[in-house]
Amino acid sequence: MSRDWTTFLCIGLTIIVLFDFASARNAESKDTKQVTCTGKVIDEQGRPVAGVEVALHEMVYDEVTYTYDPKLLGEVQTKADGAFSFTETVEDNQYRYGYIVVEKKGFALCFDNWSTRDGDKELEIKLGPPKELAGIVVDENDEPVSDARVLILILVIGEGQGRKTLSGLVVPKLLTTSTNTKGKFMFRCIPSGATAEFIVDKPGRATINTYKRTSVPYQKLNFVEGQKDIRLLLPVEAKIEGLVVEKSSGKPVGGVNIRCTSGQESGYLRPKPHVSSKDGILSINALVKTRYVLSLLQSNEALPDWVADPVEVITESGKTKSGIRLELSKGGLLEVKVKDAVSKEPIEDARVSVKSLAGNRSAYGRSDEKGLVRMRLMPGDYLINQINKQGYSRRIFRDWVTIEYGKVELIEYGLVGLPVIKGVVRDEEDKPIEGVELEVCPMGVGEESASNAEGRFEIVYDLGRWSSFRTSTIFLVGRHEKRNLAAAVQLHEDTRQFDIKLEPGVVFTGKVADPEGNGIKGATFSINLRASNWGSPIGRDFSMSDGQGNFEIKAIPAGHKYNLYTRAKGFGVIGTQVNVGNFVDNRFDVGTITLPVANLSISGLVVDDNDKPAAGARIYCYGDNQPRRNTQTDVNGKFAIEKVCAGRIRISANKTGTAPMYGYIETDGGATNVRIVISERSASISYEPSRPPWLVDTPLPELKEIGMELPPAETNGKILLVCFFDSEQRPSRHCVTQLAKQAGQLVSKGITIIAVHASKMDQTALNQWAKQNNLPFPVGMARRDAEKTRFAWGVRSLPWLILTDRRHVIRATGFRVNELNEKIGEMASVEL
> CB atoms < 10 A from the CB of 112, how many?
22
Asked which of 111-120, 238-247, 333-342 is least confident by mean pLDDT, the reply is: 111-120
Residue 821 pLDDT: 86
Q: What is the DSSP letter of 809?
A: B
The tens digit of pLDDT for each residue in 477-486 reads: 999 999 999 9
Q: How confident is the model at residue 685 (pLDDT cuts 50, 70, 90)?
A: very low
User: CA-to-CA distance for 798 and 819, rounded, in angstroms?
Assistant: 16
Whether the predicted pLDDT of 142 surpasses 90: yes
Of 177, 163, 70, 172, nearest to 111 by C-alpha is: 163
Contact (Cβ atoms closer than 8 angstroms) between residue 665 and residue 623? no
Same fold, 600-686 and 703-825: no
Burial class of residue 220 (count of CB atoms within 10 Å of its CB; 0-12, 13-18, 19+): middle
Q: How confident is the model at residue 759 (pLDDT cuts 50, 70, 90)?
A: confident
Residue 831 pLDDT: 39
Per-residue three-class SS string for 680-716: ECCHHHHCCCCCCCCCCCCECCCHHHHCCCCCHHHCC
In angstroms, the Cα distances linking 467 to 382, 463, 533, 619, 695 are 19, 8, 12, 25, 7
Handedness of CA 428, 429, 435, 438 (dihedral sign): positive
Of 680, 586, 696, 602, nearest to 643 by C-alpha is: 602
Residue 535 pLDDT: 82
User: How many Cα atoms are found within 13 Å in the side-chain-facing hemisphere of 530?
Assistant: 15
Residue 582 pLDDT: 62
187 vs 708: which has the higher pLDDT: 187
Contact (Cβ atoms closer than 8 angstroms) between residue 804 and residue 687? no
Whether the predicted pLDDT of 664 surpasses 50: yes
Helices (H) and strands (E) in the chain, counts: 5, 59
Any idea where the domains of the chain sit in the sequence? 13-231, 238-328, 332-415, 418-590, 600-686, 703-825
The strand pairing partners of 497, in sequence order, are 422
What proportion of the chain, given as a percentage, has pLDDT over 70? 88
Asked which of 5-9, 48-52, 135-139, 258-262 is least confident by mean pLDDT, the reply is: 5-9
CATH topology of domain 13-231: Immunoglobulin-like (2.60.40)
> In degrees, to the nearest 5, what angle opens at C-alpha 258 toward C-alphas 256 and 263?
165
Residue 427 pLDDT: 92
280 vs 629: which has the higher pLDDT: 280
Across residues 270-277, what is the average pLDDT?
A: 91
The one-letter amino acid code at 442 reads P
Residue 161 pLDDT: 67
Residue 541 pLDDT: 63
User: CA-to-CA distance for 18 and 101, rounded, in angstroms?
Assistant: 9
> CB atoms < 10 A from the CB of 92, how many?
11
Residue 52 pLDDT: 81
The tens digit of pLDDT for each residue in 69-83 reads: 887 777 888 899 999
Looking only at Cα atoms, what is the longest distance across the chain? 95
Residue 131 pLDDT: 94
CATH 2.160.10.10, applies to 600-686: no
Across residues 533-560, what is the average pLDDT?
A: 86
The one-letter amino acid code at 193 reads G
Contact (Cβ atoms closer than 8 angstroms) between residue 211 and residue 221? yes
3-state helix, strand, coil in the chain (%, to 5): 10, 45, 45
Element (DSSP H or E) covering residue 328: strand 320-328
Whether the predicted pLDDT of 206 surpasses 60: yes
Query: What b-and-e string marks burial along 663-676, b requiring 16 or more CB atoms within 10 Å of the CB?
Result: bebebebebeebeb
User: CA-to-CA distance for 776 and 763, rounded, in angstroms?
Assistant: 17
The one-letter amino acid code at 159 reads E
Instruction: Tell me whether the omega of the peptide bond preceding residue 799 falls within 30 degrees of 0, making it cis.
Output: yes
590 vs 13: which has the higher pLDDT: 590
The strand pairing partners of 644, in sequence order, are 600
Residue 761 pLDDT: 80
User: CA-to-CA distance for 587 and 556, rounded, in angstroms?
Assistant: 10
Find all residues with CB under 8 Å of 193, minimum gap 6, and list them.
157, 158, 225
Domain 238-328, CATH class in plain words: mainly beta
User: CA-to-CA distance for 235 and 205, rounded, in angstroms?
Assistant: 6
Distance linking the first and last C-alpha atoms of the chain:
70
Residue 49 pLDDT: 86
Residue 720 pLDDT: 94
Query: In residues, how long is the chain?
Result: 832
Residue 494 pLDDT: 77
Task: Look at strands 500-501 and 420-426 and give their pairing.
Answer: parallel
Q: How confident is the model at residue 753 (pLDDT cuts 50, 70, 90)?
A: very high
Backbone angles phi, psi at 204, to 5 degrees: 90, -5
The tens digit of pLDDT for each residue in 605-627 reads: 999 888 899 988 889 988 889 98
The tens digit of pLDDT for each residue in 303-357 reads: 899 999 999 999 999 999 999 999 999 999 999 999 998 889 999 999 999 988 7
The one-letter amino acid code at 546 reads D
Q: How confident is the model at residue 684 (pLDDT cuts 50, 70, 90)?
A: very low
Whether the predicted pLDDT of 657 surpasses 90: no
Residue 244 pLDDT: 97
Q: How confident is the model at residue 359 (pLDDT cuts 50, 70, 90)?
A: low
Residue 565 pLDDT: 93
Of 663, 700, 668, 705, nearest to 681 by C-alpha is: 663
pTM of the model: 0.67
Asked which of 273-287, 472-486, 577-591 is least confident by mean pLDDT, the reply is: 577-591
Whether the predicted pLDDT of 809 surpasses 70: yes
Asked which of 12-16, 294-298, 456-460 is least confident by mean pLDDT, the reply is: 12-16
Backbone angles phi, psi at 772, to 5 degrees: -65, -30
Residue 706 pLDDT: 84
Of 146, 147, 143, 107, nearest to 126 by C-alpha is: 107
In angstroms, the Cα distances linking 761 to 167, 574, 701, 724, 739 are 62, 52, 21, 14, 21
Whether the predicted pLDDT of 25 surpasses 80: no
Asked which of 188-197, 287-296, 394-403, 706-715 is least confident by mean pLDDT, the reply is: 394-403
Element (DSSP H or E) covering residue 788: helix 786-792
What proportion of the chain, given as a percentage, has pLDDT over 90? 45
In the predicted model, what is the mean pLDDT of the chain? 85
Domain 418-590, CATH class in plain words: mainly beta
Contact (Cβ atoms closer than 8 angstroms) between residue 107 and residue 45? no
Residue 71 pLDDT: 79
Across residues 378-393, what is the average pLDDT?
A: 86
Whether the predicted pLDDT of 5 surpasses 70: no
CATH number among 3.40.30.10, 3.30.70.20, 3.40.50.2020, 3.10.290.10, domain 703-825: 3.40.30.10
User: How many Cα atoms are found within 13 Å in the side-chain-facing hemisphere of 746?
Assistant: 25
Find all residues with CB under 8 Å of 629, minimum gap 6, and list them.
214, 215, 216, 620, 621, 641, 642, 643, 644
Whether the predicted pLDDT of 255 surpasses 80: yes
Across residues 638-657, what is the average pLDDT?
A: 89
User: CA-to-CA distance for 426 and 429, rounded, in angstroms?
Assistant: 8
Q: How confident is the model at residue 37 (pLDDT cuts 50, 70, 90)?
A: confident
Residue 628 pLDDT: 85
Q: How confident is the model at residue 692 (pLDDT cuts 50, 70, 90)?
A: low
Burial class of residue 31 (count of CB atoms within 10 Å of its CB; 0-12, 13-18, 19+): exposed
149 vs 466: which has the higher pLDDT: 149
The strand pairing partners of 16, in sequence order, are 55, 101
Of 519, 518, 489, nearest to 502 by C-alpha is: 489
| CATH superfamily to which 332-415 belongs | Immunoglobulins (2.60.40.10)
Q: How confident is the model at residue 466 (pLDDT cuts 50, 70, 90)?
A: low
